[in-house]
Amino acid sequence: MPTLADRGTTAGLPSRLARRTIAVVRPADAADIYAQPRPEFQRLVRRGLLHRLANGYYAIVPRDRIGDDWRPTLEAAAVGIGAAAAGPERAVLMGLSAARMHGAIPRAVGVAVVAVPRQRGAVELADRDARVIFVRRDTDAIDAERLPTDLGPALVTGVEQTVLDLAHRPELGGLPDEVHPAIRALLPRCDGERLDELAGAQRLRAALRRARDGIA
């Protein structure tokens, strides 16, 4: 799996920070590298090597974007924050964010949804008017695939899982008007047998009926 170093991250970062599947780091991650991580991170931000996403979370700037007004997509930032806190295999983009990653929501939205094993409070981003909502789930039981983001490969619920999640909790994220078109766009791409299998295993048969009836 490609690491950040493989993608050409700039020199100037300790290799232990740069060697991330998803390129988001916290000062706590550098406690054994720097005596005072927070001032060092501020220095790296001023040099253009790090981009501050939120309080305590920084994206590593790709080498070819240093000096630009660069910031990652909301979905990349969200799953990066989740991965930094819970681990890259324990943070999964879901709901509205997964629908957007699958191309079912064409316009940018101001909220992202990430599944993690332990409940966490929402995070307000510092570089835009947006927030990240975390949902406590058994991430091992979620049907997910790995998709590229501009911060590295990240786990995203598959189309069938995304349809079920949207139908089950259409209010999650506070954008119900986006949910109905997203389900309609994703349903034709779903494997019917896989949908039935997931709905049965996750006790989401009612959600599946709503999705298929167009009233999710």
Q: Which residue from 90, 11, 22 is spatially nearest to 59, judged by alpha carbons? A: 22
The answer to the question of residue 206 being in a domain is no
Tens-digit pLDDT string for the chain (216 aa): 334 433 434 557 888 888 888 999 999 999 888 889 999 999 999 999 999 999 999 999 998 999 898 999 999 999 999 999 999 999 999 999 999 999 999 988 999 999 999 999 999 999 999 999 999 999 999 999 999 999 999 999 999 999 999 999 999 999 999 999 999 999 999 999 999 999 999 999 999 999 999 754
Is 77 among the domain residues?
no
Residue 39 within any structural domain of the chain: yes
How many structural domains are present in the chain?
1
In-domain check, residue 188: no
Give the sheet arrangement for strand 123-124, strand by strand.
123-124, 131-136, 111-116, 92-93, 154-157, 144-147
The answer to the question of residue 36 being in a domain is yes
Owning domain of residue 17: 5-65
Whole-number Å distance between alpha carbons of 70 and 76: 13
> Is residue 24 domain-resident?
yes
pTM for the full predicted model: 0.90
